[in-house]
């Protein structure tokens, strides 16, 4: 069943390719480094009646202990192209396999403002539109111009505008039935050479409060420092970063919960709805920060982060996560959702 035009390996361990470091084997596995190879990989899967899924940096993926009985397409395309739209606006088209933090470091070096608040987030550029990755007051939806995808149904490349991506809180078209047939090839960001610091978050303010006009480098360094203190080093311990989404609930529900727990942080999400800070619920209401069962627990410095020690299994992760979900519901009557993608 090996493709004559594409390097396809068999029975490849997936745990080392994800930051959680759990899970079984991929029955078939192919590294793709350009758009043509993506098409070949999809064709190979179709010709052999195989399901297929896409792997980037592996930072938001939970692989079953049984592995994946199909083709894992590992996108490792590299490079970016810059287009000057005006004296201050740049559109940068970035290949999906570029590591996000490395690219953000380059934007800071070049003086392209817009992505610095997302510094030190693991994973690839291609994964960012799927989750509408966000941190410290910025989401990629704020700066994405277009997303180029390969439609695995029609086997054609198409370009989606930001509005066609239907971005929401940790959500996008790529999580819908239609969007799951798309493989992201590249992302085009619209960035500015004019300073536009976003430093509203208290943690960031604490570090740069003495600077009236913080530079991009200052903001990036501040956020790297904050994230280094709050999040474990994914090179040292298994983690997927924030494992759960902050719940978006009707305003009345959020206000009733805040009345019961006056210090609970809540924020306006959209008309009639509010975002509830789950980290506070896990820590101060459910008292789960730092709690560990077997090889799996919630990180001692940030309750929203699930960690998996060496020897953990995907089953342990799922059982522990389900237990967290049950405890949150028991205390708040809110059903929380996972951020991670399961295969």
Catalytic residue chosen out of the listed positions 37, 221, 316, 339: 339
For the question of residue 242 being annotated catalytic, the response is: yes
Residue 45, phi then psi, degrees to nearest 5? -65, -45
Taking CA 54 as the corner, what is the angle to CA 322 and CA 122, rounded to the nearest 5 degrees? 70
Gap between the Cα atoms of 276 and 256, Å rounded:
12
Catalytic residue chosen out of the listed positions 37, 139, 145, 170: 170
Residues 6+ apart with CB under 8 A from 175: 130
Gap between the Cα atoms of 40 and 51, Å rounded:
14
For the question of residue 43 being annotated catalytic, the response is: no
How far does Cα 12 stand from its chain's mean position? 23
For the question of residue 339 being annotated catalytic, the response is: yes
Catalytic residue chosen out of the listed positions 227, 242, 316, 338: 242
Gap between the Cα atoms of 284 and 289, Å rounded:
8
Catalytic residue numbers?
170, 242, 339
């Amino acid at each position: 069943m090996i493709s004559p035009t594409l390097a396809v390996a068999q029975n490849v361990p997936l745990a080392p390719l994800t930051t959680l470091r759990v899970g079984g084997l991929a029955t078939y596995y192919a590294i793709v480094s350009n758009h043509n190879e993506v098409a070949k990989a999809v064709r190979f899967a179709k010709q052999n009646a195989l399901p297929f899924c896409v792997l980037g940096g592996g930072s938001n993926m939970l692989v079953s202990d049984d592995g994946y009985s199909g083709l894992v397409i590992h996108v490792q395309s590299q490079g970016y192209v810059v287009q000057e739209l005006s004296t201050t606006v740049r559109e940068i088209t970035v290949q999906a396999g570029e590591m996000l933090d490395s690219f953000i470091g380059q934007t800071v070096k070049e003086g392209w403002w817009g992505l610095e608040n997302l510094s030190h987030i693991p994973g690839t550029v291609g994964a960012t539109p799927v989750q509408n990755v966000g941190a410290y007051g910025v989401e990629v939806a704020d700066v994405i111009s277009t997303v180029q995808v390969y439609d695995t149904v029609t086997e054609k490349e198409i370009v989606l505008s930001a509005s066609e991506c239907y971005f929401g809180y940790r959500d996008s078209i790529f999580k819908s039935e239609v969007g799951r047939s798309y493989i992201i090839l590249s992302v085009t960001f619209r960035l500015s050479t004019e300073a536009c610091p976003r430093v509203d978050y208290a943690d960031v303010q604490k570090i740069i409060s003495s600077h009236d006009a913080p530079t991009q480098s200052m903001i990036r360094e501040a956020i790297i420092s904050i994230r280094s203190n709050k999040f474990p080093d994914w090179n040292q311990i298994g983690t997927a970063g924030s494992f759960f989404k902050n719940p978006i609930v009707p305003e009345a529900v959020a206000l009733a919960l805040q009345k019961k727990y006056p210090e609970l942080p809540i924020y306006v999400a959209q008309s009639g709805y509010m975002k509830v800070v789950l980290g506070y619920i896990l820590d101060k209401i459910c008292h789960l920060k730092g709690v560990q069962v077997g090889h799996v627990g919630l990180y001692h410095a940030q309750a929203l982060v699930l960690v998996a020690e060496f020897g953990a299994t995907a089953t342990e992760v799922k059982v522990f996560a389900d237990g967290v979900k049950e405890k949150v519901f028991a205390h708040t009557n809110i059903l929380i959702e996972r951020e991670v993608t399961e295969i």
